[in-house]
Every structure is written in structure tokens, then in C-alpha cells.
Chains A and B, each alone.
Chain A
Amino acid sequence: MTVKDLIQALELKVFSGEQGLENEIQGGYTSDLLSDVMGHCNQNDVWVTLQTHRNIMAIASLRDLAAIVIVKDLEPEPEAINKSNQENIPILGTALGAFEISGKIYELLKKKV
């Protein structure tokens, strides 16, 4: 499943990183603790979080994530948006909370794999 497929299926908002919409998603990780994500995510995961500062992009880029989904209608900070555009890792948004959106992503990924 590509990031674009995910956006279409779950009506996600695209904040940035449009060049990365064809990134392939292979799994997902949900956490707001950066060290937890750093240590336990997998390459090509989509990351669900409420963090919005630029360090989320450092993690996403260092760990080669497919995209980030920011929950609860929160908005990424401008520095995160810039980095997302540079690295071609999309930052997406949803009104839902982490529990609900993670459940939906999980269902979609389970079907595709």
C-alpha cells in the first residue's frame, strides 16, 4: 500500500512531503515517545503520533519511515513541514485520536499483506 492509497482510504489531510506520496507502507507504529519510536519502529512504517515539532522528522528520516500521521487535528510546526518537503516523507493529519486511526490503518495493512 502506498501513502497515497492510505490518504484516499482514510481521508487524511496532507500537510507536506507530496513528493513522497508513492512511498510504500509496510507496517505501522504508534507512540509519542521519540526513543520508543527510534528503537522499535521498522523501515517503511507509517508513524502515528501527537508530536508536532521538527524532531519527528529527524526520526522519520533517520529510520526511513514512509509517512507520519498527526492525530486530533494537531498541526505540524513549520520546521517539521520544511524538513518533510526536503526529505520527501509526507506528514499527514486526521481528526481522529491515535487509537482509532491506528485501528483503521491496521485493518487496511492486514488486508494488503
Chain B
Amino acid sequence: MTFTYEIEGGNFSRAGTASSDIKKALKQLDLDYTIIKRVVVSLYEAEVNIVAHARRGTLTADIDPDRIVMVLDDQGPGIPDIDAAMTAGFSTASSRVREMGFGAGMGLPNIKKNADSLNIQSTVGVGTRLEIVVNF
């Protein structure tokens, strides 16, 4: 099964839509709750990062019998220093975003913790690509 979503930068009211649909699909599969939780946490954070930091992006989620592969590709500012961005508490989020309770710098660490693998590629001024894998 493959799912594709467009994610709009800046549109917080739609943030989490893709995660919610993927969660519904996974619930059909008789998986452990912890697996669903790990997918949902990592996908939601990745979705919110596009909304908070990029202009637009796409999510492609491939659900296989033994794993889910989520690729999030965005057009946006990119990440100049990925190691710094991965550090808990590091955030460049705007004050508007922070007031909403986003921008605590915990998103990428949450993804790292919940995914079986996380691969980040980014080009400054072009965009960012995350590949997140959770094994079933």
C-alpha cells in the first residue's frame, strides 16, 4: 500500500492529517500498539516540521508486510547543520510557532527515538528529505 500526501507550509490547522490517515490504515493490520505509536510520533513530528519550517512538501508512505517506509521531501530553507538540528532543544522556530507549543526542539530527537532508522539529507536553500523506517 502506498499513500501520498501534499503538506502545506504554514498551515497548522491541517498538521497531522497524514499521520491520522496512516494511523487508521495501520490499525487495520493487527500490529502492536507500540509500533503504531512509534509510527505516529515520528510521522507527526516530520509533518509538523514541514508545516513549521518549509514552504511545501510531500509525504510518501509505503506500508509493506514487515515495515513502513515514510519519505518526506520538502522545498524550504534546508538544514545547515544536521547534527545541531538533531540536538534536543535546538530550534529556529518563530515566536508564533513557539506560542502554539511547537518549536521546543524535540521533534527530530522524537523521530530518532521512535524510528528504527532515520536518514536526513538537506541542501540549504533547496529543501530537506527525511526517510523514516519503522519495522513491524
Residues on A facing B (Cβ under 8 Å): 32-36, 38-39, 43, 49, 51, 53-55, 58-59, 61-63, 79
Dominant secondary structure at the A interface = helix
Number of interface residues, chain B, beta carbon within 8 A:
23
Q: Which of A51, A62, A79 contacts B100 (CB 8 A)?
A: A51
Q: How many A-B residue pairs have CB under 8 A?
A: 58
Q: In the complex, how many angstroms separate the beta carbon of B19 from the nearest chain A beta carbon? A: 6
- Per-residue A-contact encoding for B28-72, CB less than 8 Å = 1, 0 else: 000001000100110011001000000000000000000000000
Q: In the complex, how many angstroms separate the beta carbon of A39 from the nearest chain B beta carbon? A: 4
**With contact pairs A55-B15, A79-B13 given, residues A34 and B100 touching in the complex (Cβ less than 8 Å):** yes
The answer to whether B101 touches A39 (Cβ under 8 A) is no
The answer to whether B20 touches A61 (Cβ under 8 A) is yes
**CB neighbors of A among B87-128 (8 A):** 100-102, 104, 106-107, 110, 113-114
Q: In the complex, how many angstroms separate the beta carbon of A79 from the nearest chain B beta carbon? A: 6
